[in-house]
Amino acid sequence: MMDLRRLALVVVTVAVTVVGEFGCGCFGNVLTLNVLRKFAGHGKNLSALRAHDIRRHGRLLSTIGVDLPLGGNGHPSETGLFFAKIGLGNPSKDYYVQVDTGSDILWVNCAGCDKCPTKSDLGLGLTLYDPKKSSTSSLVYCDQDFCTSTYDGPLPGCKPNLQCQYNVVYGDGSSTAGYFVKDNMKLEQVTGNLQSRSTNGTVVFGCGARQSGELGSSSEALDGILGFGQANSSIISQLAASGKVKKSFAHCLDNIEGGGIFAIGEVVSPKVKRTPMVQNQAHYNIVMKDIEVGGDLLRLPSDIFDSGDQKGTIVDSGTTLAYLPSSIYEPLMTKILSQQPALNLHTVEDQFTCFQFAGSVDSGFPVVKFHFEDSLVLTVFPHEYTFQIREDIWCFGWQNSGVQSKDGKDMILLGDLVLSNKLVIYDIENQNIGWTEYNCSSSIKVKDESSGAVYSVGAHDIGSASSLRIGGILTLLSIIIALLHSSIA
């Protein structure tokens, strides 16, 4: 397993900002994307799942302006990631990409790539994008607006017809590099409740040219990543810049039935209570105020919830588990276990605290509540913060971030394990996040900004459709969690 301290990254060249590059003249209203789960099946390798989070945290702890991904799933033993099948190019070809709120660009591995994975342990057929074989593809150059805006001016050494490139090197020697292209993305314009028609929209995305180290491994490999971070380069920002959607999205991750909903645009039903985002942060940071276990508030250091560099609470659907500083993790676990004093604990794969339990975990363990600014509460039930690896063997999803990295020791990171079975809304325009308990196998109502119409969008399986549907609202169907594999945005 990779240590976080080895993942401090150095950016050699990164130019990923995209301003108003989404060509949406063709569409009207609602957009959907179908996804699959990455780690389907029971009893998957727990170290591999946590390694996903570890690699992602190395990116989260970077100090550069490029937001780098992680991953996750509500139940690590069931699924570790959900990914989408999207269409790119003309003629359109299908690509499997991880859906990730902690990543800022869409990128796929490209033809001629050095050491890009050629097969996936997930049983998927990987496809290399070839810009030369797409009639609608065009290169993005270093003197164009989105590249120069990243550096607040012309790039050093930039000359006409030089590509806009990125190159990220990690402390352990792993690296990823590529260049940016503009091409068609296959879209489905939603024309009514559960009705749509095919169309195309133009997006700017990364074309991966070189991977090394962990990033070239076939383990958990996909074709790329579809990012929903706050930067101008993300899909949500490209869509919002087109004027077709609000800069807001929501996900509902269903770890009961599997699948869920991911929507871009204004969710009008259900209504949710919200808390402000911490300003000027690369990730989705909010302010936690207290933690309650079984009805009792934990006695914690007064400064533990301070926001700031490598502090505060990050909400991230790209992370599987929940990571807490030692000063929170230890009293939290002590309080939880006080309800079962005779419980025999075991360490599984050198990192997971597990136990044998034959009864209902909801009856045997306390509810945990995280209290946030403006009285927003995240309620986490025992069946949500634990997971089964065998019929009578359970593990806790809480992880001690204080033992992972000196840099990340004060970080609170809430992943899909505790975000599941809740509709979570990220309102980037108004800088707030909110959620409510919800049946993620049902539907939500979203508003089309162009017409004012309201449509019902429900959870579907990727088998029922394979394209990204776009318009005033984007819906990612059949999602559960994004557990970062070894690639970058």
The yes-or-no answer to whether 4-259+452-477 and 273-419 have a common fold is: yes
More confident residue, 403 or 224: 224
Cα–Cα–Cα angle for 442, 314, 121, nearest 5°? 65
Identify the burial level of 1 via C-beta atoms within 10 angstroms of its C-beta, where 0-12 means exposed, 13-18 middle and 19 or more buried. Answer: exposed
Contacts of 232 (CB under 8 A, 6+ apart): 17, 18, 19, 146, 149, 238, 241
The reported pLDDT for the residue numbered 35 is: 47
Question: Partners of 457 in the beta sheet?
Answer: 444
Identify the burial level of 32 via C-beta atoms within 10 angstroms of its C-beta, where 0-12 means exposed, 13-18 middle and 19 or more buried. Answer: buried
DSSP 196-232: EEEEEEEEEEEEEEEEEGGGG--TT--SEEEE--SST
SS3 193: coil
Q: What letter does residue 42 receive in the DSSP assignment?
A: S
More confident residue, 85 or 284: 284
d(Cα 405, Cα 276) in Å, to the nearest integer? 28
Catalytic residue, candidates 53, 183, 316, 416: 316
More confident residue, 145 or 41: 145
Q: Which long-range contacts (CB under 8 A, 24 or more apart) does 159-166 make?
A: 163/139, 164/15, 164/140, 165/13, 165/15, 166/11, 166/13, 166/14, 166/15, 166/16, 166/66, 166/206
User: How remote is the C-alpha of 485 from its chain's centroid?
Assistant: 11
* Residues 386-440 pLDDT 10s: 988 888 899 999 999 876 555 556 789 998 889 988 999 999 999 999 999 999 8
Domain ranges of the chain: 4-259+452-477, 273-419
Contacts of 26 (CB under 8 A, 6+ apart): 189, 199, 200, 201
The reported pLDDT for the residue numbered 473 is: 29
* Residues 141-184 pLDDT 10s: 998 887 876 666 788 888 888 988 877 654 445 677 899 999 99
Contact 66, 14 (CB under 8 A): yes
Q: Choose among 194, 161, 158, 164: nearest CA to 179.
A: 164
DSSP 114-140: ES--SS-TTSPPP--B-GGG-TT-EE-
Q: What letter does residue 155 receive in the DSSP assignment?
A: P
Pairing outcome for strands 175-192 and 296-297: unpaired
Identify the CATH homologous superfamily for domain 4-259+452-477.
Acid Proteases (2.40.70.10)
Percent of the chain with pLDDT over 70: 68
Catalytic residue, candidates 100, 407, 410, 427: 100
Contact 320, 54 (CB under 8 A): no
The answer to whether 100 is a known catalytic residue is: yes
**Highest mean predicted confidence (pLDDT) among 386-395, 454-463, 479-488:** 386-395
Percent of the chain with pLDDT over 90: 32
Report residue 29 as tokens: 């209203």
d(Cα 62, Cα 318) in Å, to the nearest integer? 16
Cα–Cα–Cα angle for 352, 353, 354, nearest 5°? 105
For the chain, what is the mean pLDDT?
Answer: 74
The reported pLDDT for the residue numbered 372 is: 97
The reported pLDDT for the residue numbered 79 is: 39
More confident residue, 447 or 132: 132
In the block, residue with structure tokens 């509902």? 252
User: Which range is least confidently modeled, 106-120, 213-227, 279-293?
Assistant: 213-227
The reported pLDDT for the residue numbered 65 is: 22
In the block, residue with structure tokens 């490139």? 165
* Residues 252-286 pLDDT 10s: 887 766 667 878 788 999 999 999 999 888 789 99
d(Cα 444, Cα 395) in Å, to the nearest integer? 32
- At 149, give phi and psi (nearest 5°): -70, -25
The reported pLDDT for the residue numbered 435 is: 98
SS3 142: coil
Q: Rounded to the nearest 10 degrees, how much is the dihedral formed by the CA atoms of 122, 254, 418, 434?
A: 120
CATH class for the domain made up of 273-419: mainly beta
